């Protein structure tokens, strides 16, 4: 019996029942895999989508966001409430609180976990927003319309502040950096977004570090005290890979599993996908760690194709994409602007619709769009094509991006 046949008979085990894990299981069946597929989820809930948590679920407009997947019909063995605690690759087994789980091929899809502020664990009124249970705990709090303090002016902080304002809360957002989205966007692009907070009636305090959080108040390092009926911490996330300590799976300094161009890990027969894995991008010439929904949707198709082929067959090198709904605006981003040599703006960032375009060696490598959906659709295609563009045409909001070729 070949090793590949034996692996297929033992089946594929997927650790993590979020978007990446669910889509890997579905893709395996869609692409013709007939062996056993087991999906392990640490949470007790039916697998669900995370983006609605920060608005629809949080504001009571939806009870949950469960995936519309017929696991039984697809013959996927879904096991909920099973936390995986270790990997013993030498014997092809996972350690769980419910006992060992053997695997033939293993897919790591454990996602990311939110960063916490040291010293705030167990403080009443302090919340994270990552899981369905988090949203369920926060929903009645917001319904009471307390004065809320959001720590972190990144994507998730802005989305929560948006929901809190919609719920009628007074909101203060505290950011340690000197501007919003400091780790994600350059000042020229992020600065206009700071005005959105004021327009929405949310107070924004930048350049302010949190010294501590006590029940009912947030203490800043400069001595100021902010009253807070609720505190939401949104300062980023880290790959949920601590359980892999001692497993032999190579990880980077950021904790991400170091996957190759085929999404294989350093261990034979073990793949990694979604928020927990970084991958080398030939398109951008660097390793990418993408904590966004589209990556967790696209990567599983590559993993499934390579599992079925039994050998490196399909390279994963996407144009990253994500969106964010905040303060009445739909913001979209595609590509990767690290390494770009030119930034061009289309339209007035003070207005309701504008775009930012990043070029490298004359070709579009990334685009951020606010209220200009055609720029996004056309921009993604231009990034894929890597064709030279005319900067003057790119900068003219009246010229369609598709017509901006040099």
Which of 262, 278, 309 corresponds to the end of one domain? 309
Looking at the fold, whether 255 and 166 belong to one and the same domain comes out as: no
Most confident residue range from 1-10, 133-142, 184-193: 184-193
pLDDT the model gives residue 84: 98
* pLDDT averaged over every residue in the chain: 94
Q: Of all residues in the chain, what percent carry a pLDDT higher than 90?
A: 85
Looking at the fold, whether 120 and 167 belong to one and the same domain comes out as: yes
What separation in angstroms does the CA of 43 have from each of 17, 132, 184, 295?
8, 9, 30, 21
What separation in angstroms does the CA of 235 have from each of 56, 154, 327?
21, 7, 19
pLDDT the model gives residue 8: 57
Domain assignment present for residue 341? The answer is: yes
Q: How many CB atoms within 10 Å of residue 403? A: 11
Number of domains within the chain = 3
The whole domain housing 133 covers 116-233
Looking at the fold, whether 131 and 108 belong to one and the same domain comes out as: no
Query: pLDDT (tens digit, 9 = 90+) per residue, 356-367?
Result: 999 999 999 999
If one compares 52 and 267, the residue with the highest pLDDT of the two is 267
In this predicted structure, the answer to whether residue 6 has a pLDDT above a threshold of 80 is: no
**What integer is the mean pLDDT of 269-288?**
97
In this predicted structure, the answer to whether residue 147 has a pLDDT above a threshold of 60 is: yes
Which of 173, 201, 233 corresponds to the end of one domain? 233
Q: Provide the β-strand partners of residue 329.
A: 326
pLDDT the model gives residue 51: 81
**What integer is the mean pLDDT of 3-14?**
71
Looking at the fold, whether 108 and 242 belong to one and the same domain comes out as: yes
pLDDT the model gives residue 93: 97
Q: How many CB atoms within 10 Å of residue 153? A: 28
Of the pLDDT bands very low, low, confident and very high (cuts 50, 70, 90), residue 7 is: low
Looking at the fold, whether 103 and 141 belong to one and the same domain comes out as: no
Domain assignment present for residue 385? The answer is: yes
What CATH code is carried by the domain that includes residue 179? 3.50.50.60
**What integer is the mean pLDDT of 118-127?**
89
Global confidence as pTM: 0.94
Which of 174, 202, 233 corresponds to the end of one domain? 233
If one compares 304 and 145, the residue with the highest pLDDT of the two is 304
**What integer is the mean pLDDT of 310-319?**
95
Q: Is the dihedral of CA 164, 170, 176, 177 positive or negative?
A: positive
Q: Lowest mean pLDDT: which of 47-56, 129-138, 148-157, 354-363?
A: 47-56
**Torsional class of 274: left (φ above 0), alpha (ψ -120 to 50), beta (otherwise):** left
pLDDT the model gives residue 1: 40
In this predicted structure, the answer to whether residue 9 has a pLDDT above a threshold of 80 is: no
Q: Lowest mean pLDDT: which of 12-21, 58-67, 85-94?
A: 58-67
Query: pLDDT (tens digit, 9 = 90+) per residue, 233-267?
Result: 999 999 999 999 999 999 999 999 999 999 999 99
């Amino acid at each position: 019996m070949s090793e590949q046949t034996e692996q297929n008979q033992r089946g594929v085990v997927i650790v993590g029942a979020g978007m990446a894990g669910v889509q890997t299981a579905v893709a395996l069946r869609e692409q013709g895999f007939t062996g056993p597929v087991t999906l392990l989820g640490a949470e007790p809930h039916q697998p669900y989508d995370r983006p609605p948590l920060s608005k629809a679920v949080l504001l009571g407009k939806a009870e949950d966001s469960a995936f519309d997947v017929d696991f039984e019909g697809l013959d996927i063995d879904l096991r909920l409430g099973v936390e995986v605690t270790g990997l013993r690759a030498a014997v092809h087994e996972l350690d769980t609180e419910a006992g060992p789980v053997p695997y033939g091929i293993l897919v790591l899809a454990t996602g990311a976990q939110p960063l916490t502020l040291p010293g705030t664990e167990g403080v009443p009124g302090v919340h994270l927003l990552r899981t369905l249970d988090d949203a369920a705990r926060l929903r009645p709090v917001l319904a009471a319309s307390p004065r809320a303090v959001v720590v972190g002016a990144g994507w998730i902080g802005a989305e929560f502040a948006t929901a809190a304002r919609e719920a009628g809360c007074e909101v203060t957002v505290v950011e340690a950096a000197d501007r919003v989205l400091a780790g994600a966007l350059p000042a020229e692009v992020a600065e206009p977004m700071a005005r959105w907070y004021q327009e929405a009636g949310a107070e924004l305090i930048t350049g302010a570090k949190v010294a501590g959080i006590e029940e009912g108040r947030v203490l800043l390092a400069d001595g100021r005290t902010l009253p807070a009926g609720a505190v939401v911490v949104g300062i980023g996330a880290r790959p949920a890979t601590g359980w892999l300590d001692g497993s032999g799976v190579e990880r980077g300094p950021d904790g991400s599993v170091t996957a190759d161009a085929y999404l294989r890990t350093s261990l034979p027969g073990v793949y990694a996908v979604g928020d927990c894995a970084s991958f080398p991008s030939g398109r951008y010439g660097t390793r990418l760690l993408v904590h966004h929904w589209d990556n967790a949707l696209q990567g599983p198709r590559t993993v499934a194709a390579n599992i079925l082929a039994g050998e490196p067959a399909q390279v994963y090198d996407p144009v990253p994409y994500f969106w964010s709904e905040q303060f009445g605006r739909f913001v979209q981003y595609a590509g990767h602007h690290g390494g770009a040599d030119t930034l061009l703006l289309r339209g007035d960032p003070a207005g309701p619709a504008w775009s930012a375009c990043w070029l490298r060696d004359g070709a579009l490598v990334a685009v951020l769009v606010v209220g200009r959906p055609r720029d996004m659709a056309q921009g993604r295609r231009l990034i894929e094509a890597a064709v030279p563009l005319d900067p003057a045409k790119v900068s003219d909001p009246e010229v369609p991006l598709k017509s901006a070729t040099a």
